[in-house]
Every structure is written in structure tokens, then in C-alpha cells.
Structure 1
Amino acid sequence: MISLTDNSLPKRTRSMARSRELRFNAFNMMAPSHNWAGLWSHPRDTSLDYNSLDYWVNYARTAERGLLDGIFLADVFGVYDVYANGPETALRHAVQLPNAEPTLLVSAMALVTKHLGFGITSNLTHEHPYQFARRFSTLDHLTGGRIGWNIVTGYLDSGARGMGLDANRAHDERYEAAEEFLAATYQLWEGSWEDGAVRRDRAARIFTDPARIHPVRHNGRHYRVDGIHLAEPSPQRTPLLYQAGTSRRGRAFAARHAEAIFLNGQTKPMLARAVRDIRDAAKEFGRDPYDIRLFAGATVIVAPTRAEANDLLAEYAEHVDQTGQLALLSGWTGIDFSTYRPDQAVQYVESNAIQSMVENFTVRSDRPVRVGDLATLSRIGARSPFVVGSPQNVADELIAWADETDVDGFNLFRLVAPESLDGFVDLVVPELQSRGVYKTAYREGTLREKLFPGRGPRLHVTHPGAGYRHAPANAVQPSAAE
């Protein structure tokens, strides 16, 4: 029997041995600049049209043509003003600013696709469960069950101030509030309307059976709800749940609630450790560790030959704005990198921002990470898999990362749009298909059913949200003796 991790095998043989199908999301943001600051200035980039429907409709069509699992839409609530203690750099260099509301894009993209999923980042800190649950139920209806929610709690104090608060909640308190938010939304999505409550009975003139409707009464420290969920049950009820927390507290939250997790790591051992920690944590919550799909961020530059791909890398690198990139990193980490020299190593600082990122640059790294390197389009600057080459080179690398780290797939960072996604779809997808590690057609069903074949459209019974369901009205209840 061939081991999937037998590194003595040739790369081509190892790729054929992989038993789990690779999965991909196109990772983008409704802003002129996303993970790589400055690429909007590239002459072939169309991201200046980020606020037009044509841009997104065409992007969705390309993603579905490539049989991608979904488009993962990032979002940030606030302004990157940590760098140099002000927003000027972010404004000048379009560091995820301006940005627009991503949920409003989905209906248009869903209309021109049939299978593509949509993972939407929404910050629960500045939402209320009652209105939020209705919005995502509506999106799940309009897409036929293709909606996922990337659960975030926010890390920018500027966003909190914009909402009338003095500062963001402390890191661990944000997750405590998130636990409560989910408890309330689970009740709305799963427990307010029983199966069969919606009758649509024209003859009897009854649309809904009131006996099968339950008000939600949640009285918590951060949120209060007293009401019936406003939307009827959608195909998935609860949207597919994404999360990206890999700090100690974030990992526990993700292992309990997430069905798909987005994580980073600039080396295979670092990423493998993060994967192992999450899967082990899932077992502590009584979940099968493979009930969670794990996606690593990936920067992929592909061309027909390795030489052409290296030329593309050099061309793209000229347009990456190093000052803008440091402003982005400052916001993510809570560290003002304007006070560092380019040759200075990043030092560990406990912040109220993305703790796992600071740990990856410092205590988890096997060598010092210099600030100047983080601002370049490079393996170090990428913070995650960085793959450049021919379709064969790229396929080899992605399969190796998956085999050696145990991730299920990758979130493909936006570079030059739509060129980078077109290249992946036209060059890498056929190569992966030829090796038997990527689908040749979509499965039917909701986003959850596509990611977990044979599971059904709703949360698995081991998921904490499933505990809020009501037994069917005609179900036989067990006796006290049983």
C-alpha cells in the first residue's frame, strides 16, 4: 500500500496517491487592494472596477468554470491606521480602503452561476443576531443554499470607534461575545421554525402553522433577543460556518463551531502544526477532526513555463507597494512597522489584533523574519504557500503542501485580476484533473453538501448548533425509563 506521505516517492506518483480531492476558493475583497497592496496599479489589473457588478459577475463565472468550491469574500470593518499612527498611508495606497459591503454582491453572482459557493466575512461585533440571522437566511434562500459565513470578531480599533465605542473588545472577550452571538443565531436558524411549519396550503388558506413556531428568548451579557426568526428556514438553515482563528482562544472557538477554517503558515512544518492543533482540538469537542475542511492561503503565479512564471513574478513585484504592505501588516498585527528598520527582525508583541500572525513571524518561525522582507512579493512576504511555476510545477507544489500539512485545499489570493484567476483555471485545473486530485464536475446540492458529500444540507448532529433543533411534532418521544 502506498503511503500518502511517503516522500521517497516521485512527486508525480505521490500526487496520484492522494485520496482526498483538493478544494479551492478564490479569495477576494470588495476593494481595489486586497492581500497585496499596490497591485491595483498594474496595467492589466481590473480591480479599480471593484464597485461594479460586471467585475464580480465575470469573476464568478470564471470561478465556476474552474469548478472552484467558492468565492471567499474578505471584509474589514475599519481603517488601517496603526502604521505611522494615522490613516494617511492606507488612504494614499488603497490599503483595503475604500471597501464596500460584500453581502450585496452575492445575488448578482448567484444569478449567473449554479454551483459556486459564497463565503462572506461579516463582523459580529457590530451586528445584532436578530437582523443578522434574517440577512443570511435570505442569502441562503436566494442562492439555493450556497452561502457560508466567515465568522470574525474584528481587530481594528478604528472600526469600533466608528461605531461609537472607545476601542475594540479585548481579544479573548471578543470570542466570549462570539460564543453568545452564535448561541442566539443558532436558536433563530435552527430552533425558531420547526420542519413542516411552512405549509403554503392555498386550499386551507394557511401559510404557516403557528403551533410549530417558537420565539427565541436569549438574555446574555452582550446580546438580547426576544422574538420569532423573521425568515422561514432556508436550504441550509445555518450557513456553512467558516472561521480563521488560530490563536489559542481562536483555535478553541474554531474547533467547536467551524466547518471550514482558513489558516496560514509560511513553512510546511508551521502549517502542519496549525492543522494538527485544530484537528486535535476538534476531538476535544467530540467532533471528528475531518468534519472540518482546512484551507491554507496560497499565492499562485502560473504560466506555461517556469521561466515565464518567474517573469510574471518579477513584473508583479514591481507593482507591490511596500509602504502600503507594511500598513496592512501593521493593522493585522497591531504593531506599527513604521518604527522598524527594513533589516530589523519582527519582535513578539502581545496585541489586541491577529495574535496568530504575530506568533508566526516570531515564536513559531525557525528564523528571524525581517520587516523589509514582509513587504515584498515573496515566500516570506506571503505568510503562506507561495507557488510560482508551470502548471506541472504548481500542481506538484500544491499537492506536496496538502500531503505534508494535511490541509484540504487553498484560498487563492487575488493578485492581478482577472489574469491570475484565469491562469489558474486554464492551466492548473486541467493539470490537477489529469492527476485525479481535482473534480471534473460539481456535485449537486448545497454548499455544505458539496464540501461534505453524503452529509445532507444541514449542520451535522455533532455540531453544537444542531442541539437547538426541535424534534418533529409527530416524533415519538422516549419515556423517562429510556
Structure 2
Amino acid sequence: MRISLNGLRQSTVGHTAIGLWRHPDSQAHRYRDLSYWVETARILERGGFDALFVADALGPLDVYQGSVDAALRDGIQTPTDDPLLPISAMAAATEHLGFVATVSSTYELPYAFARKMTTLDHLTGGRIGWNIVTSALDSAARNLGLDRQLPHDERYAKAEEFMQVVYKLWEGSWADDAVVRSGDVFADPSRVRPIEHSGTYYQVPGIALSEPGVLRTPVLYQAGTSRVGQAFAGRHAEGVFLSAYLPSMARTLVTGFRAEAAVAGRDPSALKIFAIATVIVAETDAEARAKLADYQRYASVEGALARWSALMHIDLSALDLDKPLEYVETDGIRGMVELFTTLDPDRTWTPRAIAEFVGVGGGGPVIVGSPSTVADELERWAGESGVDGFNIADPVPPVTFRDFVDLAVPELRRRGLVRGAYEGTTLRESLYGPGATRVRDDHPAAAYRFR
């Protein structure tokens, strides 16, 4: 077994850990500084990580109490900066680490977006990836020209056409030998052609504005777990990010994603799946537990409820914090109860209990212990769930990343579970091995290659 690792961040002060920017060791407020991102990239590359995955949201969290106030007080995804812009600086400071940016297909124009990603393909030397999202927040829709968010399935229908356009631009507009740089000719016009796309959502008649990058199509990731989202991932994703608290939950999702890849005519094993995990590691189990307890003192109950309100599209502020949730007759709340009852059926799940539970590591397991304990648990989790690796969160940046690389990675390497050295130079090679620079032949982008 080999476990792949990605670092998980958002360009904000509060993402998976709510309120921990208040911890005296946290440097989360430095998200505005290039030095913060360069330091992060160097730490992760030292640990042999595949990539830094940068999450994003295009609107503030405004469901809780019908206001952005709680999100602002706790710094929950607001304020937040653009995930694409620090990448070239991080790439200049590293040699192997990949960079995966979250960008919404709902609000980008494919022609302009294709050029952005090709530019980063050039500047990173083939170390760029795209986490494809369709956006779920009504606040994003209202601020980006719509009265409200497009319906879920329509967002994915629009995303399907978006993918067709960018595949044509990345794979089919310029031939491999179009750039000749010979005599008086830089590019041979006969080897560059317009894509002539005319569809429901997009009209793109011309040629790709950028010459091809190392990868052409960036490495593609996706994180939707709905029925439509899983089918979309089965067709397009090379990597899938998932959120699950138990290996059994993750196993169900892994099986579903791989089945969708098979339906799409792809090798299911080509879909690399990563589960979010928060790791608190110290020299001993007791020291790690003490570190977690210290972090938990800074977690915000209100902030966690505000985040979950946005995730569920239900205002949890109307509930009694200490009243068991099973008495609330709301479909969304029942789903929440079912999730947490599966985790611990003997515990009384109140809004406060849930908020405290997700305060440090929302979205996945919190693994706490010595390097040996952490390695045991990551190995168990990967074996039981079938995931290919983990998105390691950083609740107290950069302390928790640095602790993981300095303490857990050496033990994982000793067991042969993670790489000791990079074998390629591109992000796709990190997923598939040396020489795997272009999309696989069974990927839908391959059908658009210049013939």
C-alpha cells in the first residue's frame, strides 16, 4: 500500500477549524502574505506531498441568523482571497509539489479560464490541477449576477458543456508541432485551428489563445458526492476529494465513484480518491491529546453552527443549543442526526455537541497520537475505506503541517507507506507515475486531441 498526501488550505483564516485563528501559535492571519504560502509549499514538498489543495468559496456564509455577522466574527471563509494568484510564487520556490485550485465552472467563462490554467501549466512546469466545483451558495449567485443559485442539476449540465469547451481549447486547438520557431515563423497557422463550439451555454468560435502547456489539460479533481456529482466525477475527475468521518462511510463513496468511472468507460483504478483528515501529532500519545485539548479551547461553537448552517442550507440559530436534535422535524436536521448517530449512537447529539465535535476537524476524522499511532490509524483508514490517500488539514497553520511532516512522515516513510522521493516532475506523474504527463487515453479529454 502507498498513501498519497495533499495539504488542505483555503486562502482565509477559518476553513475546517473554526475559531482556531485565535490560538497564539496560529499564523492563519498571514494568508495575505506570499511568504505564508511559500513557507507552506516548502513544508509540504519536504514531506513528499503530491499537492497543496486550495479550497474556495465565492460567497459569504449568511444562512445562520440570516446574516454574515457570525462568519465575520469567526473568520469562517470570510474574508477570503483568490486561490489562483499565489500559485506561481509557490511554484518558483519548489520543484515537485503540485497545486490544485478550486474554481467554479458556474461563474467562469471557459475561454478565459482555459488561458489562466494554461498559463499556470507553463509557469509551474506541469504542476497545476483544477478542483471543479459548481458552487452551492446563494450569496455567490446574488453577487455574481443571478437572483439566486442555479438549480443543482442545471449547474452540472452547464459544467458538462464547460468541460467540452475547455477540452477543445486545451487538447484540440493547437497541434503538438504547431510552434516551430524556425526562420520567420513562430507558429504554423495550418497547425492551429478554431474550436467552433456552439452550444446551449457557450459560443466559442476561435482558437485557444495560449500555446499548449506541459499537461495541456490540468489534472482534474472533483468533490461532489450527490448522484449527479458522482456521475460527473466518474466522467471527468482524475482525483476525488471526499468528506467522511468513518472508513465505512468513505468505502461506500469510493465504491460509488469507481462504479461511475466504469460506466463512463474508464479504468476505475485511474480515479484517485482522497479523504480529508486532521492529524494532531506529538512525540507521545499523551502530548498529542494535550495538544488537541489546547486547540479545542479556541474552537467556536457559534462559528461551527454558522458553517454547518451554510452547508445544510438550514439556519441552526433557531434551535436550542442543548436540546437533542432528534426532536426537530426537519429533513435536513434528520440527515444531520443520522450522520452523527452513525458516528456514536450512544451520545446525545445536541447542536452544541455537534459544534464542539467539528470545531477542530470538520469534515473528517481527527487522528491524534504519536507518530506510530498516527501511522497505524492512517494505514487502517486507507485499508478499510479503499481511499488512495488523504487531504491533511492544517487547523493551526503552519504548526500542524510542520508537525505532520517532521513527526508523522518519517514513520510513514519507515513503513514504506509514503514516498521518500519524487519520481517525476509533473502533478499527473505524482498520481500515475513517471511519464504520465497527458490525460489517459480513456479520459474524455483525449477524444478532443488534435488529429
TM-score for the superposition, normalised by structure 2: 0.95
What are the superposed Cα offsets for residues 353-377 of structure 1, whole Å, 9 maximum, x if unpaired? xx9x969737977848543232124
Q: What percent of counterpart residues are identical?
A: 46
Counterpart AA for 2:62: D
Counterpart secondary structure, 2:86: helix
Change (3 A) 1:45 1:366: closer
Alignment match, 1:434: 414
Q: Give the Cα–Cα distance (whole angstroms) in 2 for the partners of residues 31 and 290 of structure 1.
A: 34
Matching of residue 53 in structure 1 with residue 31 in structure 2: no
Alignment match, 1:307: 286
Alignment match, 2:256: 277
1:266·1:380 contact (CA, 8 Å) conserved in 2? no
Counterpart AA for 2:131: N
Alignment match, 1:330: 309
Matching of residue 185 in structure 1 with residue 166 in structure 2: yes
Matching of residue 451 in structure 1 with residue 431 in structure 2: yes
Q: Give the Cα–Cα distance (whole angstroms) in 2 for the partners of residues 256 and 348 of structure 1.
A: 37
Matching of residue 361 in structure 1 with residue 339 in structure 2: yes
Q: Give the Cα–Cα distance (whole angstroms) in 2 for the partners of residues 369 and 243 of structure 1.
A: 31
Counterpart AA for 1:164: G
Return the offset for 1:389.
0.5
Matching of residue 293 in structure 1 with residue 272 in structure 2: yes
Alignment match, 1:107: 88
Match of 1:235 among 214, 218, 226: 214
Q: Give the Cα–Cα distance (whole angstroms) in 2 for the partners of residues 142 and 363 of structure 1.
A: 47
Return the offset for 1:37.
1.3
Q: Give the Cα–Cα distance (whole angstroms) in 2 for the partners of residues 239 and 190 of structure 1.
A: 11
Alignment match, 1:14: none
Return the offset for 1:200.
1.5
Counterpart secondary structure, 2:85: helix
Matching of residue 262 in structure 1 with residue 241 in structure 2: yes
Counterpart secondary structure, 2:150: coil
What are the superposed Cα offsets for residues 443-465 of structure 1, whole Å, 9 maximum, x if unpaired? 12310012101452111110011
Q: Give the Cα–Cα distance (whole angstroms) in 1 for the partners of residues 109 and 116 of structure 2.
A: 11
Counterpart AA for 2:339: F
Match of 1:211 among 190, 207, 212: 190
Q: Give the Cα–Cα distance (whole angstroms) in 1 for the partners of residues 102 and 359 of structure 2.
A: 26
Q: Give the Cα–Cα distance (whole angstroms) in 1 for the partners of residues 33 and 401 of structure 2.
A: 18
Match of 2:127 among 146, 150, 158: 146
Q: Give the Cα–Cα distance (whole angstroms) in 1 for the partners of residues 409 and 78 of structure 2.
A: 32
What are the superposed Cα offsets for residues 208-258 of structure 1, whole Å, 9 maximum, x if unpaired? 011111111222222221211001000000000010011111000011100
Change (3 A) 1:263 1:210: same
1:317·1:377 contact (CA, 8 Å) conserved in 2? no
Aligned length: 446
Question: Which has the larger displacement, 270-279 or 401-410?
Answer: 270-279
Matching of residue 424 in structure 1 with residue 378 in structure 2: no
Return the offset for 1:337.
1.2
Matching of residue 197 in structure 1 with residue 178 in structure 2: yes
CA RMSD of aligned residues (A): 2.0
Q: Give the Cα–Cα distance (whole angstroms) in 1 for the partners of residues 199 and 24 of structure 2.
A: 52
Q: Where in structure 1 do 4 or more consecutive aligned residues deviate above 3 Å?
A: 346-351, 357-360, 362-370, 377-383
Q: Give the Cα–Cα distance (whole angstroms) in 1 for the partners of residues 109 and 325 of structure 2.
A: 41
1:119·1:149 contact (CA, 8 Å) conserved in 2? yes
TM-score for the superposition, normalised by structure 1: 0.89
Alignment match, 1:35: 16
Match of 1:466 among 430, 433, 446: 446
Q: Give the Cα–Cα distance (whole angstroms) in 1 for the partners of residues 365 and 438 of structure 2.
A: 32
Unaligned runs of 5+ in 2: none
Change (3 A) 1:433 1:188: same
Unaligned runs of 5+ in 1: 1-18, 472-482
Counterpart AA for 1:80: L
